[in-house]
Amino acid sequence: MRPAAAAAAATATAAALRLRAAAASLSSPPAALFTPCRAAIPRAAASPVMDAQFESFRAQLDESSTLRDRIRAVVSEIESASRVATAALLLVHQPVPLEDVLGKAKAQVEVIKGLYAQLAEVLKECPGQYYRYHGDWRSETQAVVSMLAFMHWLETDGLLMHTDAQEKLGLSSGEFCLDVEDYLTGLCFMSNEFVSSITDQTKNSSHNFILGICLWFETENVVQPA
């Protein structure tokens, strides 16, 4: 081999070795960069005041959850009794004596009254928080008022007043009472029963019944609950 060619080959070989060494150094970073820090990081000391606050909050949440479960259990029974009474009142659209229809419904009203007494006892454990839990029995109470108002109309052809509804449910005293909004909403729901009654009586050609409902709306056009 000529001297010039040998020198060029040696230079190329040396350059290749340098490149290989450089690549190896880049692919293997210094171990010091990945050496874990073995020094223990001190944990922040827990604040006794914050611990006490969180324990208090958790206790309040647990107590509220337990109370709400008890309320919902009673409300579920109220809803069940109300459905039984409403189902009994549906017989008014059939050729069944009115006394029999009202008798079955009144029996459930007494059951509902006792359940509201239980609900009032539960709420005594959280005085001043009536409207905090009011939503748990609002719709059920409105349905009960609608049923009571329809029963009252069947018996007297008159409007069930707010004080009368409270008395029928045993809610005329103490903090636990019949909310006026629930009472008025229940009266609005009662109009559905009028539609069914008018339809049935029209089929039976009982126009006096329909005229009586129209006169009732004219005379009872103002609702002023006490």
- pLDDT number for residue 102: 92
Distance CA 126, CA 55 (A): 20
Q: For residue range 180-220, what is the model confidence (pLDDT) as tens digits?
A: 999 999 999 987 776 666 555 555 545 455 455 555 555 55
Domain-by-domain residue ranges, the chain? 62-219
Distance CA 186, CA 139 (A): 9
pLDDT band at 226 (very low <50, low <70, confident <90, very high): very low
| Better-predicted residue by pLDDT, 45 or 141 | 141
Residue 225 has pLDDT above 50, yes or no: no
The per-residue pLDDT of the chain, averaged, comes to: 78
Percentage of the chain beyond pLDDT 90 is 37
- 62-219 falls under which CATH superfamily? Translin; domain 1 (1.20.58.190)
Cβ contact 108:82 at 8 Å: yes
Find, among 188, 177, 186, 155, the residue nearest to 226 by Cα.
177
- pLDDT number for residue 222: 40
Q: For residue range 57-114, what is the model confidence (pLDDT) as tens digits?
A: 787 787 888 999 999 999 999 999 999 999 999 888 788 888 988 999 999 999 999 9
Computed from CA positions of residues 167, 173, 176, 182, in that sequence, does the dihedral angle turn out positive or negative? positive
Q: What global pTM score does this model have?
A: 0.66
- pLDDT number for residue 34: 47
